[in-house]
């Protein structure tokens, strides 16, 4: 897109048409990621319980609403700001504990 000034100004993402036609496409990824982060955090604290919660979610599949599935898996809603803050804080603490020089 070297010849397209508009796309070269940081707007190349505009060519992803589904952002406009199906905006929940990416939002769904974000919601799933926050659930996965919670499973990760929970598995650090109690791996067996986190695994059992995950299996519980797998068993209900799509038979429940998203929020009901979260309850089934003992997860907090990513629509709640306190959940976002708690999860991102834990991730930040984890990443801050990594010595980049050893990677």
Copy the structure tokens of residue 84: 């976002």
Sign of CA dihedral 51, 52, 56, 58: positive
Would you say residue 102 has pLDDT above 70?
A: yes
**Domain hosting residue 77, numbered range:** 32-102
User: Which tens digits make up the pLDDT trace of 7-56?
Assistant: 788 888 888 888 888 888 888 889 999 999 999 999 999 999 999 999 99
Tell me how many domains the chain contains: 1
Q: Which ranges of the chain would DSSP assign to H, the alpha helix?
A: 18-21, 24-45, 47-60, 66-72, 81-96
Would you say residue 2 has pLDDT above 80?
A: no
């Amino acid at each position: 897109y070297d010849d397209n000034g508009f796309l070269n100004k940081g707007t190349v993402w505009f060519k992803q048409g589904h952002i406009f036609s199906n905006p929940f496409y990416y939002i769904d990824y974000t919601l799933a990621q926050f659930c996965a982060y919670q499973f990760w955090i929970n598995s650090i604290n109690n791996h067996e319980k986190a695994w059992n919660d995950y299996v519980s979610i797998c068993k209900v599949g799509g038979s429940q609403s998203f929020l009901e599935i979260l309850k089934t898996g003992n997860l907090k809603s990513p629509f709640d700001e306190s959940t976002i803050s708690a999860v991102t804080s834990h991730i930040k603490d984890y990443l801050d504990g990594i010595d980049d020089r050893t990677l």
